[in-house]
Structure 1
Amino acid sequence: MNLAFLRRRAELLDEVRLFFKRRGFLEVETPLASSEAIPEQHIELCQLDDGRRWLQASPEMHHKRLLCAGSGPIFEVTKSFRGHEVGQRHHPEFTILEWYEPGASLQGAIVTTEALFDTLLNAPAAKVTSYREAFGAVLGIDPHAASIDELRALIQEQAPAAAPFESDDRDEWLNVLLAVCVEPVLGHGQPEVLRHYPATQAALAATTLDEHGAAVAQRFELYWRGMELANGYEELTDPAELRQRLLLANTQRLAAGWPAVPMPERLLAEMVDPGLPPCAGVAIGFDRLVMLATGAQNIGEVTAFSDFY
């Protein structure tokens, strides 16, 4: 442990709370484990030994239930859990900052995120880049139109060891190219917002058409100094569409050899009545934010104890 880093961490926690309370957000506490969860294709969830509850990868499910109940803007700093994610910037147990603002658009979520980083880290304004622009600048392709064969050829050229050779999922190939080729060039000199991912990568975000007529997700991620720090959505509010996406995610999990996750039936019911208001939400890996603030090179340096390092 590094006590200087822990003191800076505590200061940042105080500053986060002050930032949101000054803006009228309610701080909430939600369960770490639940009999229901939100199925996601690429997140390995952890089940408790009782066989009845799942550790939450994010407080999103409970936050949206609070929004349905009329909570207004809310935020939480809490623990989240994801199986077998261990590395320089990953830990199976980590601290997440997440907030939701009724009435906010994707652009509104970006503005709030910029203001938070300015307050905490004196960050300059973010550069905004579309997913299409980033892939075009780095790889010379349109990621919304390129075929799997084109993507496969690029990976064989750029990073053959990273290729998901057996996959026929186009998004798997795009994700590899994003991680290996595009992300390393983002957010140098100033924070950079990458937005308008393909609609097939919308997860729980609303979708729209971009200026070229391609279906895109109302989603952004923020990068700075080589680190992915924030993930934000203009949220999907249609419960029928959400159910279909979550059922598909469970199907994809089973195909990958992971267990299906119990559907968030209480959330889905509350999204019907009384309904989820139009809103935007953002999640930030708080440990990574502390790494950025302190210059730490490893996530284990900014936590009091870590059994993995």
Structure 2
Amino acid sequence: MDTAAADRWRPAASVETLRRRAALLAQIRAFFVERGVLEVDTPLLGPAPSSDPQQQCLDVAVPGSGRRYLQPSPEYAMKRLLAAGSGSIYQICKAFRAGEQGARHRTEFTLVEWYRVGFDYRALMDEVQSLVCGLLQRPPARAFSYRELFQRHAAVDPLADSDQVLWQRVAAAGIEPSEALRDAGRDAALDILLTRRVEPAIAPLGAVFVYDYPASQAALARLRPDQPALAERFELYVDGIELANGFTELADAVEQRRRFEADNLARRVLGLPEVPLDEGLLAALGHGLPACAGVALGLDRLLMLALDLDDIAALQA
């Protein structure tokens, strides 16, 4: 008998890895209990997927209910809870994104997502640092603005330089942009420069926050009232691994609908299917979302760092 075939039943994760995973989960739950944050559980299937053109969601046909989507984040459902008066909440759950495979990516993965009423993104950065750096026993994170990092490591001003300059820098980074790539817009150029120039430069620095993203990359974040060209958004990297993405949450239903519709327009330009809008989320925003900040943290990547693993597959049971 083929030995490899005979061993296919074996889980990739060792029993010791599972024990350490369980211990980490217990620490995370204790962290939120200490702060009075309520644990919740929201549906994995929702009526609408993410509208982000860079995220492809999985859909299923549910008898009697039509098409439903495996959620790439519990964000929409959690915001409905916030609008209903839940107060600060968190959950540890599965999430799904199509086409995500690699040493740091899986189609099915685990998120820790939480929302803090009365926080803005800077206050939430402090809490994320307390959790992550505490769990990993790391020094406090360093923080840099998105603009500062691009000026320093990619030799561009992401807010002021022309599209032509950005694509010239992309070419200098070793990628000759096709017409289709150019059609994806300046944010596509910035994403390439982020992965080719910025992320390698910050990897040796340990824990690093990148904050104040361009307004065009706001997603569901509020724009800065004093500088509307910037979104109140941050990401946390540890050893060059993107670990968390957080916002001061947008509470304007009209603006959120406009952003969803702009995403669908971008999808048409890219030849991607348009997606239905989450009318439940828009209704919740119209009802009134409390001032809050939220963040999604990749638990699998956190475990990789905590256990010194180089492939997410080693965590699979």
Equivalent in 88, 112, 133 of residue 73 of structure 1: 88
Deviation string for 1:236-282 (max 9, x for gaps)?
11110000001111221232232222211112112112x10110001
Deviation string for 1:41-74 (max 9, x for gaps)?
2100111134510110000000000000000000
The answer on whether the counterparts of 1:118 and 1:124 sit within 8 Å (CA) in structure 2 is: yes
Partner of 1:276: 289
Is 1:144 the equivalent of 2:159? yes
Answer with 1 or 2: which has the greater Rg: 2
Query: What is the Cα deviation at residue 189 of structure 1?
Result: 3.6
Partner of 1:224: 238
Query: What is the Cα deviation at residue 223 of structure 1?
Result: 0.6
Is 1:2 the equivalent of 2:2? no
Equivalent in 91, 94, 106 of residue 109 of structure 2: 94
Partner of 1:299: 312
The answer on whether the counterparts of 2:79 and 2:284 sit within 8 Å (CA) in structure 1 is: no
What amino acid does structure 2 have at the position aligned with 1:92?
Answer: T
Partner of 1:290: 303
Query: What is the Cα deviation at residue 156 of structure 1?
Result: 1.0
Query: What is the Cα deviation at residue 287 of structure 1?
Result: 0.3
The answer on whether the counterparts of 1:219 and 1:233 sit within 8 Å (CA) in structure 2 is: yes
Equivalent in 56, 62, 70 of residue 44 of structure 1: 56
Change (3 A) 1:164 1:303: farther
TM-score, normalised with respect to structure 2: 0.91
In 2, Cα distance between equivalents of 1:140 and 1:47:
41
SS in 2 for 1:53: strand
Partner of 1:157: 172
The answer on whether the counterparts of 2:203 and 2:238 sit within 8 Å (CA) in structure 1 is: yes
Partner of 2:4: none
Is 1:62 the equivalent of 2:77? yes
Deviation string for 1:106-152 (max 9, x for gaps)?
11110110010133111211111001110111122211111111111
Pairing 1:181-260 to 2, within 5 Å after superposition: 181-208=197-224, 215-260=229-274
In 1, Cα distance between equivalents of 2:252 and 2:157:
29
Change (3 A) 1:201 1:132: same
Partner of 2:7: none
In 1, Cα distance between equivalents of 2:244 and 2:43:
22
The answer on whether the counterparts of 1:38 and 1:61 sit within 8 Å (CA) in structure 2 is: no
Query: What is the Cα deviation at residue 8 of structure 1?
Result: 1.3
Change (3 A) 1:24 1:164: farther
In 1, Cα distance between equivalents of 2:197 and 2:286:
41
What amino acid does structure 1 have at the position aligned with 2:139?
Answer: P
In 2, Cα distance between equivalents of 1:160 and 1:74:
42
Unmatched tracts of structure 1, length 5 or more: 305-309
Unmatched tracts of structure 2, length 5 or more: 1-11
Query: What is the Cα deviation at residue 159 of structure 1?
Result: 2.0
Change (3 A) 1:189 1:171: closer
Deviation string for 1:205-263 (max 9, x for gaps)?
001267xx571110000111120101010011111000000111122123223222221
Identity %: 43
In 1, Cα distance between equivalents of 2:55 and 2:232:
20
What amino acid does structure 2 have at the position aligned with 1:21?
Answer: V
CA-atom RMSD in angstroms: 1.5
The answer on whether the counterparts of 2:50 and 2:57 sit within 8 Å (CA) in structure 1 is: no
SS in 2 for 1:144: coil
Q: Which runs of 4+ in 1 moved over 3 A?
A: none
Partner of 1:171: 187
Aligned length in residues: 300
Pairing 1:3-18 to 2, within 5 Å after superposition: 3=14, 4-18=16-30
TM-score, normalised with respect to structure 1: 0.93
SS in 2 for 1:48: strand
In 1, Cα distance between equivalents of 2:104 and 2:179:
26
Query: What is the Cα deviation at residue 37 of structure 1?
Result: 3.3
